[in-house]
Structure 1
Amino acid sequence: MTPNHSPPPQTKRVQSLRFRMLVGSLMWIVVSVAVAGWALQQLFVQHASQQFRNEMDLHLNQLTGAFSVEDDEPVLVVPLSDPRLDQPLSGLYWQVDVVDASGQIKQAGVLRSRSLWDQVLPAGPEREDGKRDTLYSYDSPTLETLDVLSRRIQLTDEDEAHQNWRLMVAADQGLLNEPLAHFTTMLSVALGALALGMGVASIALIAGGLRPLARLRQKLALVRKGTASQLEGEFPSEVQPLVDEFNAVLTTNTEIVQRARTQAGNLAHAIKTPLSILENAAHNDSGALGALVSEQVAIARRQIDYHLARARAAAAMQASGLHTPVEPVVAAMVRTMQRLYMERKLDIHAQVSPPDLSFKGEEQDLHEMLGNLIDNACKWATTQVRIQARADGQCVVFLVEDDGPGLSAEESIAAFKRGVRLDSQTPGSGLGLHIVAEMAELYQGSIQAERSELGGLKMALRLPGVV
């Protein structure tokens, strides 16, 4: 017989607190570092671009100050200071054009830097806002992409009233882009290392912050196993109130169970006393009335034992910290049965593996269940009874086998019904196996009747264990 236990409803697995905290912190680190990197890169671009423009303004101002016309020929009074202007295709250039009053080129490149070699800078658009300087870009097939800053000036001459000139300074955009690319690379490496360090620090902080919860889980496991009755140890101030409340619940629960067991025991004692009186009186009466009273007293005693066992099992399932070593109980049962069936010379063999195996419940209940199974096996055995107890996951499995006649499939089912006796010639009330099944069900366990390798019956009792 296997009790019908419906499995608990499967609830959706919730992500762990550690996982959520870690994901949240890592997302914040990534976003913060990305925003900081973008802001720093933009600031550097603005700074480098402004510095690049200021450098071009400086060169154009130097060119303007050094430019002059002598004997109707444009000349530079002094050479410009930057040595790159004398290096061919260095990326920094200047040029002077002759233009008319409307800005149209009359003669391009009347003067130009040695760095231009044989190249000529094209004229750009004229400004319409009245300012004299114009900045534009020029894609040269030989000089790459240039930023050109031009200025139109007029010089007073004794022979002619005005002469228009366009002065130009050009710089390769690579002079700006290369430092920007280098800075971006270095910034990415630095921020990546920073993000990695912050991530490792977050993992360490989260692991350290949640460590008290791991300790709390270990303490709860000790309570569940029965090796501790309270949660012991020091915890952080955020967790300590929870520990105190849980300990208070454990204390209250233990007191309630103890009172219930005491009341049940008192009630049983109060009832058994008058039953003993009736039983003694019935023994003195050899008539039909005495036999009837004796029979009813025996039934009443069995009912009391049955309901007390149910009450103990129900209370034990509500209590925490209960555990009963299996090996001493099995050994006591074997000694009892060997004395009880001494005249039959039964070979009763028992094995408990591992030796420290424990049942999560009351010792008296384990005596009750094993006692019924082993006594039943001894009644029906021919020569041999075998008892095994072993761990199976978080459960304890008891196998009680005999070499008797065994039971059919229908009899195996009927054997667990209340008051059913498969052989009226064998002593008993028919309540033993039913009590075992009821108590196993209360402990959320099960019992099954199978065919034994010895030829008789094998009872498989599964009960919760202490892991």
Structure 2
Amino acid sequence: MLRSLRWRLWLLSLLVLGLTLASAGWVVVHLFERHVRAQFEARLQDHWIDVLASLHPDEAGSPQLDGKLADPRWSRQYGGLYFQVQRAGDVQPEPWLRSRSLWDERLSLPVDELADGTVHWHDLVGPGGQALRVMERTVQWSDTGGRWRVAVAADQRELLDAMDAFRESLALALGVVGAVLMAALGIQVNIGLKPLRALQAALQRVHQGQVTRLEGSFPTEVLPLVQDFNRTLAYDEQVVERARRLTGNLAHAIKTPLAAMVALAEDATWPGEDARRQWQEQVQAVRDQVDWHLRRARAAGAAGAARRTAVVPVLQGLLRVMDKVHARREGEPPVQWELRWPQPPVYFAGETQDLQEMAGNLMDNACKWARRAVRISVQGDGGQVVLAIEDDGPGIAPELREAVLARGIRADERVPGSGLGLDIVRETAALYGGELRLLESELGGLRAELWLPQG
């Protein structure tokens, strides 16, 4: 289930929505309770002022109730609204005055020292187990009458019931909002995943052979994936077409040697030694053609694959081989090698064997023609690896450089070789989207630049 993108979106949406609604509910309930309590305490202060306005000191300075309070709860037994007046400073004193609603009960006010004008709040258990909110202040009517604690209390049942009712209503409202939001999220998920379903349908059409490319209108977030996939499909088509062409070329190339071999086998008058020699020549021609086409096929298959080959270690390995192969040059001094590379090292986006074959051919040619020095340099240039191999030999005239890249063409017959090396390098580099350039070297000879994709 967790492998499904749809279920992941649903679970994430449920988690975020649940946390959001829970946080919002807690904040709203907290603000509502604070507001309701403030209103409740404000009314309690108004009741305290009413009680204080009805109290007057007698000749001894003691408070007396003057008249009847307007709210009937003051007189109804356990009516939920109470007042009590007692002398300040006494420990658990008997109330001097109290409302009729207290009946034979009293408010058990905590021992408290109140400064004049200071308001204190208490939560007490009142008559019948009522949860009371109490407000009290100290009052002094005259210098001889002493200080009196005047307390007013109200039952919080209506307040608590109102808060409970609000919580229930809020929970119901948030539940409805959550259901609506989940429905909206479901629609959003379906709409958001619609391009992926369209992509899946397009892939199915490609698999069924109805089309050769992913077709359709896709959003910008999916479009790069579609474009990369279409490029991969185009490359696969090129690989298949190239394989077909290579197969045809191979068949055409070995057709003539095979015909000659058949003729030699059927001609009984041909001398045995000559027949054997020509037979070996034709067999070698077939082998050369097969090897060459196999190399091209291998490079064609690897050109688009995700390979990554470090360039410098390959070159260092080839240098050790070249030192042994060209250690003794008849009538020529040993070759002085120079290898330059950048930091950090660069990588070729292709097969190690192909890089070895391309670089090895170029280095072998440089050794054959160099007088004393061969310089090899590597650098990265805009997403490409540039491998330059230079020598101080006679070089190649500009008008001959294009010709020597043709298969089997040699600029000078004095140095042994088949004339296939540069053509193999050029063909292999082209299969990777690269190229081989022949330029004039600062050393006086030829500069062969091999441009390849960087990994």
The CA deviation string for residues 222-266 of structure 1, in whole angstroms up to 9 with x for no partner, is 323333211111111222232123212211221222122112112
Matched, 1:35 2:23: yes
Residue 74 of structure 2 corresponds to: 85
Residue 263 of structure 1 corresponds to: 246
Residue 137 of structure 2 corresponds to: 151
Letter in 1 for 2:113: R
Offset, 1:50: 1.3
Q: 1:29 & 1:65 partners in 2: Cα distance?
A: 54
Runs of 4+ in 1 over 6 A off after TM superposition: 70-73
Contact 1:74 1:111 in 2 (8 A): no
Residue 102 of structure 1 corresponds to: 89
Q: 1:105 & 1:245 partners in 2: Cα distance?
A: 88
For residues 245-284 of structure 1, the aligned pairs below 5 Å read 245-276=228-259, 278-279=261-262
Residue 65 of structure 1 corresponds to: 53
Counterpart secondary structure, 2:134: strand
Offset, 1:16: 4.3
Q: 2:2 & 2:67 partners in 1: Cα distance?
A: 82
Contact 2:85 2:97 in 1 (8 A): yes
Q: 2:126 & 2:212 partners in 1: Cα distance?
A: 87
The CA deviation string for residues 404-458 of structure 1, in whole angstroms up to 9 with x for no partner, is xxxxxxxxxxxxxxxxxxxxxxxxxxxxxxxxxxxxxxxxxxxxxxxxxxxxxxx
Letter in 1 for 2:125: D
Q: 2:115 & 2:6 partners in 1: Cα distance?
A: 63
Over the matched positions of the two proteins, sequence identity in percent amounts to 31
Counterpart secondary structure, 2:198: helix
Higher relative contact order (CA 8 A, sep 6+): 1
Q: 2:217 & 2:238 partners in 1: Cα distance?
A: 25
Residue 375 of structure 1 corresponds to: none
Contact 1:75 1:111 in 2 (8 A): no
Residue 36 of structure 2 corresponds to: 48
Q: Residue 127 of structure 1 is aligned with which of 90, 113, 119?
A: 113
Counterpart secondary structure, 2:215: coil
Q: TM-score, normalised by structure 1?
A: 0.52
Q: 1:171 & 1:203 partners in 2: Cα distance?
A: 50
Label 1:102 to 1:270 Cα distance change in 2 as closer, same or farther (>3 A).
closer
Counterpart secondary structure, 2:128: coil
Letter in 1 for 2:80: G
Letter in 2 for 1:35: S
Label 1:102 to 1:118 Cα distance change in 2 as closer, same or farther (>3 A).
closer
Residue 124 of structure 2 corresponds to: 138
Label 1:16 to 1:155 Cα distance change in 2 as closer, same or farther (>3 A).
same
Label 1:217 to 1:123 Cα distance change in 2 as closer, same or farther (>3 A).
closer
Label 1:137 to 1:270 Cα distance change in 2 as closer, same or farther (>3 A).
closer
The CA deviation string for residues 20-42 of structure 1, in whole angstroms up to 9 with x for no partner, is 44333332222222222222122
The CA deviation string for residues 167-202 of structure 1, in whole angstroms up to 9 with x for no partner, is 331112323222222222222222233233323322
Counterpart secondary structure, 1:108: coil
Q: 1:86 & 1:118 partners in 2: Cα distance?
A: 13
Does 70-79 or 141-150 show the bigger shift?
70-79
The CA deviation string for residues 124-174 of structure 1, in whole angstroms up to 9 with x for no partner, is 333344445432222246242322223333345xxx942654433111232
Label 1:276 to 1:107 Cα distance change in 2 as closer, same or farther (>3 A).
closer
Residue 75 of structure 1 corresponds to: 65
For residues 17-36 of structure 1, the aligned pairs below 5 Å read 17-36=5-24
Residue 99 of structure 2 corresponds to: 112
Offset, 1:94: 2.4
Report the number of matched residues. 301
| CA-based RMSD | 4.7
Q: 2:30 & 2:51 partners in 1: Cα distance?
A: 31
Label 1:149 to 1:273 Cα distance change in 2 as closer, same or farther (>3 A).
same
Offset, 1:269: 3.0
Q: 2:22 & 2:198 partners in 1: Cα distance?
A: 37
Offset, 1:109: 5.5
Offset, 1:54: 1.0
Q: Residue 193 of structure 2 is aligned with which of 210, 213, 216?
A: 210
Counterpart secondary structure, 1:162: coil
Q: TM-score, normalised by structure 2?
A: 0.53
Offset, 1:274: 4.7
Letter in 2 for 1:49: R
Q: Which runs of no fewer than 5 residues in structure 1 stay unpaired?
A: 1-12, 319-467
Counterpart secondary structure, 2:95: strand
Offset, 1:209: 1.2
Residue 162 of structure 1 corresponds to: 145
